Amino acid sequence: MLNLSRVSNNCFQKFQRFYVFALFLVLYTTSSLGQSSSNVPDITQQQLNPKYWQTKLGNNKGISMKSQEINKFNQQLVATNPHMVDPLATPTTLSKKGLLKKINSISSVPKSARFYADGTQVSAEKFKEYTKALNLNGVKQQNTVAYGLVTARSSLRTFPTLDRVFNRAMDLDLDRFQETAVFPGEAVAILHSSSDGKWLLVQNYHYVAWMLEEDLAFGSKQQIQSYIQQQDFLLISGAKVQTSFVPNQDDISQVQLDMGITLPLLRRDEEQGELYGQSTAGSYQVKLPTRDSDGRLHIKTALIGRTQDVHIGYLEYTAENLIAQGFKFLGERYGWGHDYNGRDCTGFVGEIYKSFGILMPRNSGQQGKGEYGTNFRFDKNTELATKLAVIDNLQIGDLIYIPGHVMMYLGEENGQPRVIHDVKGLAYWTPDGEFYKGVLNAVSVTPLIKLQLNKTTSYLDKIYNIKRITLDSIQQQ
């Protein structure tokens, strides 16, 4: 005969065990969700979400500039900073001395040894080949300058070659011939060509180096000026966006566009209801620079879906938007000099600020030592307490400089500052007193004070400037 009381008791015991297990699982899951499983200390998963920092702004909303102030900032920066230029203001001719100075500023044989990926040292004979490719014999007494628009993301290189070379430490992520990148729609002055004609020495708004000729279209200065000065434009506000697919038209189909790129919008009377075999109702119609078979500039209409991460005009320069833009790169692999189809620390910062129309020099030293913005400078004799007092009053988006690196301030947690940056190495002392040394090699959120460069030197020790991007300081020059 079935004993109902025994069955009931067994069911109750099973229910109790199930309840305890379920409660344990919920508590474990809840606690573990707050922790990051990465090698970064003192960062929770919640802190890897931009909304976490946006909701913590409070009174710390950062500095803001209106569009007219940003235009003035850029104009004064180009006028006062030796690393910033208007490429279309480059003279139509360069003297032999002037052109050679430009070439030598980027394409000099390094004093230290360089190696290929297999460990073979780059020989003196090989450097002679790289130097021969510079076409120094083609430099005339007077050299005509041409102008162009970039048609595809392209590397800027030390020498006109895709050969990858490295230093003695053989870090294969750091190609020492890789300088930076240029992007579709950027104007460049074309100063010289390589011996084989496949490479061009170009000047964009903040760099001189060699790029592949096939990624650029030649145009008149007036044509290019008209293109880049159009008032109605679409901003690429996402990390990477692609134009829509178009059959049999590779020059406008699925073209990669990186954050900060702007493309003119078609006027209403230029727009079409159907294009490339599809309705345009769900797309923006933009003017994209392309090159014809002779390398000449030809502007075509490209489509970008309205669900893509884009914005009509520049974003408003606010703390909320600074945080949002920075987090769009979170987890992207570090790319020295915009290598690996990514970016490095200054590329990361530069693309964020380009979202607001703000331009800056290319390299961290040029940025950190530049007099633009509001600067809080320190020297080797500055006491740590003085630096900490400044850090306690940071605003969202403030840029923190140590030699060779820049970080963007996010906010603080339990009185400790947090930063977002594109960085390769990671080192810190663990609570157990052990020295951890590993890699980030990606855009990461980290604490600031805890980071070490080595066992005896911290990031805090090496901070030499904190820069706030405002108009005030540059107006005083």
pLDDT digits 0-9 by tens, 43-61:
999 999 999 999 988 766 6
2 lies in some domain? no
Average of pLDDT values for 366-388?
96
pLDDT of residue 442 exceeding 60, the answer is yes
Residue 439: helix, strand or coil by DSSP?
strand
Kindly state the percentage of the chain with pLDDT values over 70.
Answer: 90
What pTM did the predictor assign? 0.90
Neighbouring CB atoms inside 10 A of 165's CB total 23
What local confidence, expressed as pLDDT, does residue 168 receive?
Answer: 87
218 lies in some domain? yes
Neighbouring CB atoms inside 10 A of 156's CB total 23
Domain that holds residue 362: 46-64+316-475
Interval 229-247: pLDDT, tens: 999 999 999 999 999 999 9
Secondary structure (DSSP) of 146-200: EEEEE-S-EEEESSS-----B-TT--TT--TTEEEEE-TT-EEEEEEE-TTSSEE
Q: What is the count of structural domains for the chain?
A: 3
Long-range contact pairs involving 277-283 (C-beta distance under 8 Å, separation at least 24):
277/247, 278/244, 278/303, 282/306, 282/307, 283/244
Interval 161-219: pLDDT, tens: 999 999 988 899 999 999 999 999 999 999 999 999 999 999 999 999 999 999 999 99
What local confidence, expressed as pLDDT, does residue 192 receive?
Answer: 98
Q: 394-418 burial, b for 16+ CB within 10 Å, e for fewer?
A: bbbbbbbbbeebbbbbbbbbeeebb
Query: Are residues 218 and 244 located together in one domain of the fold?
Result: no
Cα separation, 410 vs 57, in Å, equals: 9
Q: 291-308 burial, b for 16+ CB within 10 Å, e for fewer?
A: beeeeebebebbbbeeeb
Query: Are residues 272 and 284 located together in one domain of the fold?
Result: yes
Last residue of a domain, one of 229, 260, 287: 229
Q: Which two tokens stand for residue 404?
A: 């060779």
CB neighbour list of residue 6: distance below 8 Å, 6 or more residues apart = none
386 lies in some domain? yes
Q: Which of 370, 466, 377 is nearest to 419 (CA)?
A: 466
Cα separation, 393 vs 364, in Å, equals: 22
Catalogue the E-assigned strands of 268-389.
274-275, 278-279, 283-291, 297-305, 310-312, 374-377
pLDDT of residue 62 exceeding 80, the answer is no
pLDDT of residue 1 exceeding 70, the answer is no
* φ and ψ at residue 126, rounded to 5 degrees: -65, -40
383 lies in some domain? yes
Query: Are residues 323 and 465 located together in one domain of the fold?
Result: yes
Specify which residues 465 forms β-bridges with: 377, 401
Q: Which of 429, 406, 403 is nearest to 419 (CA)?
A: 406
Query: Are residues 159 and 95 located together in one domain of the fold?
Result: yes
328 lies in some domain? yes
Interval 301-356: pLDDT, tens: 999 999 999 999 999 999 999 999 999 999 999 999 999 999 999 999 999 999 99
Q: Is the Cβ–Cβ distance between 290 and 299 less than 8 Å?
A: yes
Number of DSSP helices (H) and strands (E) in the chain, helices first? 12, 24
Q: Is the Cβ–Cβ distance between 467 and 368 less than 8 Å?
A: yes
Query: Are residues 199 and 57 located together in one domain of the fold?
Result: no
Query: Are residues 341 and 440 located together in one domain of the fold?
Result: yes
pLDDT of residue 7 exceeding 80, the answer is no
Query: Are residues 307 and 436 located together in one domain of the fold?
Result: no
Last residue of a domain, one of 207, 229, 251: 229
Q: Is the Cβ–Cβ distance between 416 and 428 less than 8 Å?
A: no
Interval 75-97: pLDDT, tens: 999 999 999 999 999 999 999 99
Average per-residue pLDDT in the chain? 91
Query: Are residues 324 and 212 located together in one domain of the fold?
Result: no
List the CATH number of the domain containing 434: 3.90.1720.10
Average of pLDDT values for 420-425?
96
What local confidence, expressed as pLDDT, does residue 28 receive?
Answer: 36
Q: C-alpha distances in angstroms, 475 versus 71, 85, 98, 356, 443?
A: 13, 18, 30, 19, 33
Cα separation, 136 vs 134, in Å, equals: 6
What local confidence, expressed as pLDDT, does residue 450 receive?
Answer: 97
What local confidence, expressed as pLDDT, does residue 161 receive?
Answer: 98
> On the CB side of 281, how many CA atoms lie within 13 Å of its CA?
1
Interval 93-141: pLDDT, tens: 999 999 999 999 999 999 999 999 999 999 999 999 999 999 999 999 9
Neighbouring CB atoms inside 10 A of 369's CB total 16
What local confidence, expressed as pLDDT, does residue 66 receive?
Answer: 87
pLDDT of residue 71 exceeding 80, the answer is yes
pLDDT of residue 37 exceeding 80, the answer is no
Query: Are residues 337 and 448 located together in one domain of the fold?
Result: yes
Kindly state the percentage of the chain with pLDDT values over 90.
Answer: 87
Cα separation, 306 vs 451, in Å, equals: 41
Provide, for the chain, the percentages of residues in helix, strand and coil under a 3-state DSSP scheme, each rounded to the nearest 5.
30, 30, 45
What local confidence, expressed as pLDDT, does residue 23 receive?
Answer: 35
For residue 316, give the DSSP letter.
P
Query: Are residues 330 and 308 located together in one domain of the fold?
Result: no
What local confidence, expressed as pLDDT, does residue 61 receive?
Answer: 61
Last residue of a domain, one of 312, 346, 363: 312
Residue 409: helix, strand or coil by DSSP?
strand
Neighbouring CB atoms inside 10 A of 24's CB total 10
Query: Are residues 448 and 386 located together in one domain of the fold?
Result: yes
465 lies in some domain? yes
More confident residue, 30 or 323: 323
